[in-house]
């Protein structure tokens, strides 16, 4: 979709809201475990806070087990501590060189809780898009019209453009939510 120059900031803000929503959805677990669930975990190693994927290879052993193979055996203990402190709710199992994270199967009740969380994140995304819309409406429509920089027909044309852009971004939010719900309920 071609974005008019007067709505570029709106499009950037709305895209940021979508990107944030995608990040929020990563933190919600589904039945399939992916290495991205560890992206938010920071490990205290070498004097700084580093993500797990900068200290180790993370792979999926089976549908519900992640294997973490640190490149330096000295950081195994620090990675374990970071995982235990995280909100994953998983206890790591170590055999000396490999850390295994076994995720239990999701119950129906837990899936419904995750869907509620996903819906909350989606609503937050919609609110961010609407807030960006309100700012764009003021900056690109109301203020120029008040200052007599645009005519009334241009005001209505811009309003129509902004409404169409807003609907597109809201539809994108709803699409992301539908995909996440489907992923959560997959067996």
Output the pLDDT for position 13: 95
- The fraction of the chain above a pLDDT of 70, given in percent, is 98
- 62 or 109: whose pLDDT is higher? 109
Output the pLDDT for position 119: 95
Is residue 58's pLDDT more than 70? yes
In the DSSP assignment, the letter for residue 141 is I
Tokens of 131: 């807030």
The terminus-to-terminus CA distance of the chain in angstroms comes to: 36
What CATH number labels 35-102? 3.30.1360.40
Digit-coded pLDDT (tens) for 88-120: 778 888 888 898 988 888 888 888 988 999 999
pTM above 0.85, yes or no: no
Find the mean pLDDT for residues 159-165: 95
Architecture field, domain 5-26+107-185: Orthogonal Bundle (1.10)
Query: What distances in angstroms separate CA 82 from CA 26, 38, 64, one per listed residue?
Result: 18, 10, 20
Output the pLDDT for position 187: 63
Digit-coded pLDDT (tens) for 169-179: 999 999 999 99
Backbone angles phi, psi at 64, to 5 degrees: -125, 10
- If one counts every other C-beta atom within 10 angstroms of the C-beta of residue 119, the result is 13
Q: For residues 104 and 64, is the Cβ–Cβ distance under 8 A?
A: yes
- Every domain of the chain with CATH number 1.10.132.20 lies at 5-26+107-185
- Every domain of the chain with CATH number 3.30.1360.40 lies at 35-102
Q: Which residue has the tokens 């709710």?
A: 89
Digit-coded pLDDT (tens) for 128-153: 999 999 999 999 999 998 999 999 99
């Amino acid at each position: 979709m071609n974005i008019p120059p007067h709505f570029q900031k709106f499009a950037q803000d709305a895209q940021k809201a979508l990107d944030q929503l995608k990040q929020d959805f990563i933190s919600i677990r589904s039945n399939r475990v992916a290495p991205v669930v560890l992206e938010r975990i920071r490990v205290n190693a070498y004097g700084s806070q580093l993500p797990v994927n900068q200290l180790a290879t993370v792979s999926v052993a089976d549908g519900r087990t992640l294997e973490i193979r640190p490149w330096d055996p000295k950081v195994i203990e620090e990675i374990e501590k970071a995982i235990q402190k995280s909100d994953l709710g998983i206890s790591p199992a170590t055999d000396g060189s490999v850390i295994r994270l076994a995720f239990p199967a999701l119950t129906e009740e837990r899936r419904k809780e995750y869907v509620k969380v996903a819906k909350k994140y989606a609503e937050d995304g919609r609110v961010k898009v609407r807030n960006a819309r309100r700012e764009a409406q003021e900056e690109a429509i109301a203020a120029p019209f008040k200052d007599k920089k645009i005519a009334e027909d241009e005001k209505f044309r811009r309003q129509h453009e902004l409404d169409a852009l807003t609907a597109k971004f809201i539809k994108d939010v709803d699409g992301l939510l539908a995909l996440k719900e489907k992923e959560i309920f997959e067996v």
